[in-house]
Amino acid sequence: MPTEVQEETLTLEEILAGLKEMHRLILWNDDHNTFDHVIYCMMKYLDYSESQGEKIAWKVHNEGKCAVLEGSFTEMEIYRKILQQEGLTVSVD
């Protein structure tokens, strides 16, 4: 007796909606990165100004984490890998 397979079909709108789902890149507080290094990375890789980078560094220091970027999962994964190579503690939410 052959196995019956049910095929799932999605509309174009459903596919596009899934692609548009936004994810956040979260920067976490740690004990080994300096404020200067965090600010430098925010400026170099995420195109923040020095004052914006400083605000992010203080928020991470005081609150334990900060969402630093929002976009597609693929885009957030690319930035996560870049920032991890710089020694920052980051995750995608």
The CATH number linked to 28 is 3.30.1390.10
pLDDT 10s per residue in the chain (93 long)? 566 766 767 777 766 665 667 889 999 999 999 999 999 999 999 999 999 999 999 999 999 999 999 998 888 999 999 999 999 999 998
At 17 the pLDDT is 60
Count of domains in the chain? 1
Q: Does any domain span residue 15?
A: no
Single-letter amino acid code for the residue at 50: E
CA distance 45 to 47: 6
Domain range spanning residue 37?
Answer: 20-92
In-domain check, residue 81: yes
Any domain includes 62: yes
Q: Rounded to 5 degrees, what angle do the CA atoms 42, 76, 14 make?
A: 145
> Which residues does residue 67 pair with via DSSP β-bridges, in sequence order?
26
In a domain, 5, yes or no: no
Phi (first) and psi of residue 59, to 5 degrees: -65, -45
13 is a domain residue: no
Q: What is the pLDDT of residue 13?
A: 74
What is d(CA 77, CA 10) in angstroms, rounded to the nearest whole number?
A: 25
